[in-house]
């Protein structure tokens, strides 16, 4: 399947994975995740983005993902009160900033743009400043991934840290390093609390991970334990049913 034709024909899909507030059991946001046509060779995100890079269409793909996610959110998920989390490659975010802000008009305070811990340094400070000045929220993604230095979180002005799943796996590993991973997670929570930054644990897959992360102090979690990414229509039904249960109390 030709990736550029797929984009031009509107065949790109966007699924949404919820981010939960563990204390209130509420969904505080949805991360938009791109998928190619179901059953096609481009369905999985790695293959989809690899094909776009090879075709020189990374920008076209990311902007199509963004527009599709925003359209679905506006039409189906806005009334839920949850935030929309979207990812951008730093170069595309910088090059398309004006266009992105224009598209977000009226929804900027409901949108969280995610940038990776490593890419933050590649972004001009004015890009992040302009996003903040225009009311867009920011999240630093993949915090603690691999051998990245935690010095990169110093001085950053974001609304959320998204802690890499490697740390979450580490705290529940049961080996000698589990306590060290727990100390790292505890540090991030304390640092975030002092700076007014929410901490989201990514890649949560087991009840044990939920329990341990909750005991350490994590308030927000995301991962397959709660739900795989699903179409917006699924979450509309979920929202309606939750409201019915609340009204029946």
- pLDDT tens for residues 85-105? 999 988 899 999 999 999 999
For 36, the enclosing helix (H) or strand (E) is: none
pLDDT, residue 121, reads 58
Q: Is the pLDDT of residue 120 over 60?
A: no
Task: Name which of 4-18, 139-153, 165-179, 211-225 the model is least confident about.
Answer: 139-153
d(CA 139, CA 83): 12
d(CA 162, CA 222): 9
CA of 191: how far to CAs of 141, 161, 180, 197, 234, in Å? 16, 10, 16, 8, 36
Of 194, 186, 188, the residue nearest 215 (C-alpha): 186
Count the domains in the chain. 1
Structural contact between residues 113 and 88, judged by C-beta atoms closer than 8 angstroms: yes
CA of 237: how far to CAs of 34, 80, 223, in Å? 21, 11, 20
Is 24 part of any domain? yes
d(CA 149, CA 121): 12
Is 74 part of any domain? yes
Phi, psi of 237 (to 5 degrees): -65, -40
pLDDT, residue 118, reads 59
Is 187 part of any domain? no
Structural contact between residues 140 and 162, judged by C-beta atoms closer than 8 angstroms: yes
Is 228 part of any domain? no
Is 2 part of any domain? yes
Rounded to a whole number, what is the largest CA-CA distance in the chain? 54
Task: Identify the domain containing residue 66 by its residue range.
Answer: 1-87
Of 119, 118, 141, the residue nearest 201 (C-alpha): 141
> What band does 211 get if pLDDT is binned at 50, 70 and 90?
very high
Average pLDDT, the chain: 92
Is 129 part of any domain? no
Is 37 part of any domain? yes
Q: Is the pLDDT of residue 117 over 80?
A: no
Is 157 part of any domain? no
Task: Name which of 16-25, 146-155, 156-165 the model is least confident about.
Answer: 146-155
Instruction: Work out the percent of the chain whose per-residue pLDDT is above 70.
Output: 94
């Amino acid at each position: 399947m030709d990736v550029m034709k797929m984009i031009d024909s509107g065949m790109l899909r966007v699924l949404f994975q919820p981010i939960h507030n563990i204390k209130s059991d509420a969904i505080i946001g949805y991360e938009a995740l791109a998928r190619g046509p179901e059953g096609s060779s481009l369905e999985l995100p790695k293959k989809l983005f690899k094909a776009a890079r090879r075709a020189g269409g990374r920008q076209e793909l990311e902007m199509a993902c963004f527009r599709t996610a925003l359209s679905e959110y506006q039409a189906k998920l806005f009334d839920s009160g949850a935030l929309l989390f979207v990812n951008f490659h730093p170069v595309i975010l910088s090059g398309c900033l004006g266009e992105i802000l224009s598209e977000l008009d009226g929804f900027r305070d409901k949108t969280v743009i995610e940038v990776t811990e490593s890419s933050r340094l590649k972004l001009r400070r004015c890009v992040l400043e302009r996003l903040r000045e225009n009311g867009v929220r920011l999240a630093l993604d993949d915090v603690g991934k691999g051998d990245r230095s935690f010095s990169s979180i110093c001085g950053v002005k974001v609304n959320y840290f998204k802690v890499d799943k490697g740390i979450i796996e580490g705290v529940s590993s049961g080996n000698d390093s589990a306590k060290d991973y727990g100390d790292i997670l505890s540090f991030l929570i304390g640092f975030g609390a002092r700076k007014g930054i929410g901490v989201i644990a990514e890649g949560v897959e087991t009840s044990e991970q939920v329990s341990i992360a909750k005991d350490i102090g994590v308030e927000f979690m995301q991962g397959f334990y709660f739900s795989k990414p699903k179409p917006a229509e699924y979450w509309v039904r979920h929202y309606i049913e939750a409201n019915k249960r609340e009204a029946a109390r």
